Amino acid sequence: MHDVNLLLVLVSAIIMMVVGAIWYSPGLFGQAWLKAMNKKKSDFKRSGKVLATGFITSFILAYLLSIVINMSGADTFMLGALAGFWVWLGFIFTTHLEVRMYEHRPWQIFTIYTGMQLVNLLLIGGLIAIWG
Give counts: helices (H), strands (E), the chain. 6, 0
Nearest to 84 by CA among 72, 98, 100: 72
Q: How far is CA 43 from the centre of its chain?
A: 23
List pLDDT tens digits, range 57-107: 999 999 999 999 999 999 999 999 999 999 999 999 999 999 999 999 999
Enter the DSSP assignment of 31: H
Spans of all domains in the chain: 6-131
Model confidence over 46-57: pLDDT tens digits?
778 889 999 999
